[in-house]
Structures are given as structure tokens and as C-alpha cells.
Amino acid sequence: MATIQLHIFTWFVILLQWISVSIISAQDENVSINPQTIFQKISLGIENGNVSEFSEFLSSQVYLSLNTGEQGYYSRNQVFYILKDYFLIYKAINFKVTSKLINNTNPYLAAKFNYESRGRKGSAKVYVSLTFIENRWEITQITFN
């Protein structure tokens, strides 16, 4: 009987250690994703009109301002769907980064977004800023103006 309890206890300790290592590894992965990598994913996502390329980095509350007049603080899910709809109307011709700051407490990216919408070409200045929240960089502001 004592041997069975010892085996159960041993397996329980092993399980707890495995869970701890898994949690620490997941946290390390988030920290290792630096602003430069996130900005590359944002650039690729905007250029391809695909929010999914960078949606994992959206904060729980994001300030969003679009040249359509839409502006305010939105949840991660709201931002995802608003931008998804935006990219259906404003199709990217090209996306060019004009400046960025990555060695700072609040990294940002500034760019020019050339698009076609309903047969007309246009452009918008894009600004994206990140904030370090709970061991990871998150997108806290996106502006298309």
C-alpha cells in the first residue's frame, strides 16, 4: 500500500514539474519575440491585408483610429474584425516603413500605406505603437490617417 502511494506521489511531483517547465517556456517564448519581429509581422499583415499575421500581438484594449472616421478604444476581437473589414475595402498597393524606434520602452512604427479603394488610389500614414505588458510586447495603438 505504501509503495502505491509513493508511486502516485512520484507521478504527481513529475506532473507538477512538467507543468512548471511548460509555463516558464511559454513565458520565455513571449519575451523572446522582440519589437522588430512584431513590426515585420505587422508590415507583412498590412501589405497582405491579413490581420491574422499580427493579431496575436493585439492588446486586450487597443486605441484604433482609421481614415474612415472610426476611432476609439476597442477590444482585441473588435480590432481584428474592424481591420479585417477595412482591408476588404482598402486593398494594399504597397506598405513602406518610414521610421521606427525599437530600442525604447514604447517602440513605434511609422509607415505609408498606399491602397486602392473602389477604383481610386489613395494613401494613409500609419502609426503603430507597442507596450510591454505582462512579459510580452503588445500592440496598443494603430492609426491609419
**For position 136, which CATH number holds?**
3.10.450.50
Same domain membership, residue 40 and residue 91: yes
Same domain membership, residue 55 and residue 20: no
Q: Which residue has the higher pLDDT, 33 or 84?
A: 84
Same domain membership, residue 55 and residue 126: yes
Per the CB < 8 A criterion, the answer to whether 145 and 65 are in contact is yes
Same domain membership, residue 74 and residue 128: yes
Q: Which residue range(s) make up the domain with 17?
A: 1-32
Structural domain count of the chain = 2
Same domain membership, residue 55 and residue 42: yes
144 bridge partner residues: 126
Arithmetic mean of pLDDT over the chain = 86
Instruction: Give me the pLDDT at residue 5, please.
Output: 56
DSSP-derived letter for residue 107 is: -
pLDDT tens digits, 34-60: 999 999 999 999 999 999 999 999 999
SS3 79: helix
Question: What is the reported pTM?
Answer: 0.77
Same domain membership, residue 80 and residue 128: yes
Same domain membership, residue 39 and residue 7: no
Same domain membership, residue 40 and residue 16: no
**Whole-angstrom distance, CA of residue 23 vs CA of residue 6:** 26
